[in-house]
Amino acid sequence: MIIGDDRIRPPLAAMVLGAAGLIPFLWGVIALQTGLFTPNSLSVRPAIEVYGLMIFSYMAGCFWPFAARLNGARDYLLAVAPVLVLIAMIVPDFVTLNQALILGFAGLLPIDWYFTRAGAAPTWWMRLRVPLSAVVIASLIAILLTASPA
């Protein structure tokens, strides 16, 4: 594979929309660390956690069509496992939602890799998912470690 190969380069729309999806995470880090860009009525941590939960669910939901393409019992189990594991972590307060999201986003990557390797995901999938996940995870860690009144 060559670097300019369209089979391994994510489509521009996917890259732009994926990058745009990072804005709330990055805003959360900046808002908590500086106190800037925060409306008085908004609590930053819960806002980012709710957004993170929506994005996590969306990304985990991407696995279902991959599983359907492969049509194996293990594939369907992998498609639903991330959300079930996340629920198992947060319902009994095993970890905070932020911590669960950090673990959850990290846990999506091996499943992304599996579906890509199996040919169910596009060949460019990991080139999109790894950098986006790295920024999301780093942002969630920064938010977790930032003490702020916001």
User: Alpha-carbon distance 30 to 44, whole Å?
Assistant: 10
For the stretch 99-145, pLDDT in tens is 999 999 999 999 999 999 999 999 999 999 999 999 999 999 999 99
Q: What is the pTM of this model?
A: 0.90
pLDDT value of position 2: 43
pLDDT value of position 130: 97
User: Alpha-carbon distance 72 to 23, whole Å?
Assistant: 36
For the stretch 48-90, pLDDT in tens is 999 999 999 999 999 999 999 999 999 999 999 999 999 999 9
Q: Where are the alpha helices (DSSP H) in the chain?
A: 12-20, 23-34, 44-61, 63-70, 73-90, 97-117, 125-145
pLDDT at residue 1 greater than cutoff 50: no
